[in-house]
Chains A and B, each alone.
Chain A
Amino acid sequence: MNESFPPPPESESLLRREAGQEPAGAPKPSSSSGDPAFGGSGGVSELDVDELKTAVTSLRQLLLLTLAGLVVLLFTVNLLLFHQVGLLRAQVLQMSRQEREMFSFLEDHRTNGAPYFVQFLNVLDQFAARDPHFAQILARYPRFQIPRPPEGVRQPTLPGVGTGAAGEPSGTNAPSPESP
């Protein structure tokens, strides 16, 4: 006894179309109930779906690879920047230390050294006025004044370097030799 199964709806419309009973532009039934063996009269076939799935998978992989590459690139750049920042910070610290030493030396020279120099020169001048022989010796050496900070010099910008130390020197307040 042969069992005959009723043909599926898509095949029915296909058969009818082939028999000329149904126009070509007739709406096709949904693909969910379609027979894949007949090419899916409802729309996208399984083959197309598989192709689409493959394409999406490859695109996803490409995106992940690109993101991973970008992460590695940024990590490398960050590593390089971190190293450079460390070197630069050490350099700036060393420069600020050097600037602080120079400022302290100049302030010491301006407040403790130069007034004594000027006073010493004045004493030698007074002696040279009475002793021409020493005046000849003294004439070989240059004169100098108490150094003043040059105009327009601003306070140093490096951190921790001499603040509030620059001031107008007062020649009248030069310390006496007995009191250092």
Chain B
Amino acid sequence: MKKSFPWAGLLMALLFLSLVINVGLAYQYVKLARMARQGASEILALNERVAAANRDRAVLQALALESIKYAATNREMLRAISPFFPTFQRLGINVNTNPPAGQRPNPSRP
């Protein structure tokens, strides 16, 4: 009797292999989805802190500009804030202390 090709066995083997791959992929998917969910919540919390830090930097920039503008007419202020010039430059603040054209430091002020 002529033996036919064992199609059923081959298909069963393919089915089992597909099942194993499917289980592995499903496990990976669930693990990555959990990591993505946790990462999203952490980034949300970090966003608030980054926004607060950016607000602080904005306040510092504004204060630095005010103090530099005040230092143009007050040498004592210039002496007080000059050590912070490297920090200002790191923050991108122009620390050019020369007064604008048409304005001179007030000699009567200390």
- Residues of chain B at interface, number, CB under 8 A: 50
- Residues of chain A at interface, number, CB under 8 A: 57
- Contacting pair B15 A74 (CB below 8 A): yes
- Contacting pair B25 A82 (CB below 8 A): yes
> Once the chains are docked, how many angstroms separate the CA of A157 from the CA of B38?
7
Beyond A64-B8, A106-B53, is A98–B43 a contact (Cβ under 8 Å)? yes
Complex: chain A residue closest to B40, CB-CB: A95
- Contacting pair A177 B87 (CB below 8 A): yes
Is A44's beta carbon under 8 Å from chain B? no
- Contacting pair B18 A78 (CB below 8 A): yes
Contact among B43, B45, B67, B84 for A177, CB-based, below 8 A: B84
Is B101's beta carbon under 8 Å from chain A? no
Chain A proximity mask over B57-93: 1 for CB below 8 Å, otherwise 0: 1011011101100100010110011011011001000
- Contacting pair B86 A91 (CB below 8 A): no
With a cutoff of 8 Å between Cβ atoms, the chain A residues found around residue B18 in the complex are: 71, 74-75, 78
Is A52's beta carbon under 8 Å from chain B? no
> Once the chains are docked, how many angstroms separate the CA of A99 from the CA of B90?
23
Chain B proximity mask over A68-99: 1 for CB below 8 Å, otherwise 0: 10110011011001101100110110011011
Is A42's beta carbon under 8 Å from chain B? no
Chain A proximity of B6: nearest CB distance (Å) = 10
- Contacting pair A71 B87 (CB below 8 A): no
- Contacting pair A92 B39 (CB below 8 A): yes
- Contacting pair A88 B32 (CB below 8 A): yes
Beyond A64-B11, A127-B77, A141-B62, is A88–B39 a contact (Cβ under 8 Å)? no
> Once the chains are docked, how many angstroms separate the CA of A103 from the CA of B18?
42
CB-contacts of A110-143 with B (<8 A): 113-114, 116-117, 119-121, 123-124, 126-127, 130-131, 134, 137-138, 141-142
> Once the chains are docked, how many angstroms separate the CA of A82 from the CA of B80?
63
Supply 7 further A-B pairs (C-beta < 8 A) apart from A64-B11, A124-B80.
Answer: A92-B36, A99-B39, A106-B49, A120-B64, A134-B77, A158-B39, A178-B83
